[in-house]
Amino acid sequence: MRNFHSFISSSKDIANSLKDLNEVEETLNRIQAHKGVQGIVIVNHEGSVVKSTLDNIQTQQYSTLVTQLTAKAQNVVRDIDPEDNLTFLRLRSKKHEIMVADTKGYILIVIQNPHEHEY
């Protein structure tokens, strides 16, 4: 009986995980559909790429550099207020706009053309 209950619990966990994965995919599709979005990269806090819509070279470049920048920005926020956390970072250059959401366990990086959505 105990194994059956463990199986049911595991099955529920798997079903919830699949539901979460579907929600993540839907969210990524919505983001990707926005005008000017050039790519999305999701990185865990260990620096491993979880998902990317970019080619391998760009994925490696953005994941490495933006993860380092996010860690430095997090340190700045904590130096200013030790009880605060970085949640969002936005960089804009002439050619690109990089938006970074730092969430529990993951960093979401969205790269877009800043001129695609100007008025």
Of 62, 46, 43, 44, the closest CA to residue 112 belongs to 62
Q: Where are the domains of the chain?
A: 1-33, 37-119
3-state helix, strand and coil shares in percent for the chain, rounded to the nearest 5: 50, 25, 25
Token pair 């695609």 is found at 116
pLDDT for position 15 = 47
Can you tell me the distance from the alpha carbon of 112 to that of 95, in angstroms, rounded to the nearest whole number? 9
Tell me which DSSP letter residue 115 carries.
Answer: T
pLDDT for position 119 = 43
Q: What is the mean pLDDT of each run of 10 residues along the chain (119 residues)?
A: 44 50 80 90 89 95 95 95 94 94 89 76
pLDDT for position 104 = 80
CATH class of 37-119: alpha beta
Query: What is the pTM (predicted TM-score) of this model?
Result: 0.79
Can you tell me the distance from the alpha carbon of 60 to that of 63, in angstroms, rounded to the nearest whole number? 5
Q: 37 and 112 in contact (C-beta within 8 Å)?
A: yes
